Amino acid sequence: MKRNFPLVRALCERMRRPAAVQILAGLGLMAPAGLMTMRDVEPELQPTTAPIELAAVEAVVPKAHGEAAIAAAAMTYANQYKIPTSLAKDIYVAAVEHEIEPKTAFGLVRAESSFRSSATSPVGATGLTQLMPATARWLAPGTTRQQLRDPDTNLRIGFKYLRSLIDKYDGDEKLALTAFNRGPGTVDKLIKRGRNPDNGYAEKVWTGKSKKHVALMNKKFGKRT
């Protein structure tokens, strides 16, 4: 089932209208730094989650407000995932830059590396988003394995790769995440053969639990899948 294109993109596109920018410019002169929210701009644009709200505001408010919003989001996610605020900020900023929903971005890093930049898989996938060096060099020529240990570098290339997959599959985030995990070549072959490529990876990213785990819990508590 297709998910909606990331809310960040939709909100940012709508907020680029000149009228909205003019309103924000005026409010920026009156409101204390860091206190202005989407409610000060246009009620019908209010999102359902705070991280998306902050992402939309960052696209148009003055720099001081953007920094405050990023700091607030970083603290929220740092507390939620029990990680350093600096790492939460890196993940959040890279996600917004590549129009990835923060929930998906944090879930992917948790699923891939448990937030450890030193993580290396048996086949050589490296860093926070577990990128293969060859994939990284394709997206950012000249990238070395050592550079993939750097959180900022790894996140930006990793989310750039996910963004390209979301675009490839017409906004189907579930399919894009599956391709991130299994490889787009494998996913395309399975689809061509009329088979479902889903391996439960997307659910693991979004919920923190594998498809197998969910099935076991449902069985344990007498629920039908």
Residue positions annotated with a catalytic role? 112
Residues contacting residue 92 through CB under 8 Å, at least 6 positions apart? 51, 70, 73, 74, 77, 102, 105
Please report, for the chain, how many H helices and E strands are present, in that order. 12, 0
Phi and psi for 209 in degrees, rounded to 5? Answer: -130, 140
CA dist., res. 219 & res. 207, Å (int): 18
Element (H, E) at 30: helix 18-30
Phi then psi for residue 120, to 5 deg, are -140, 130
Rg (CA), the chain: 19
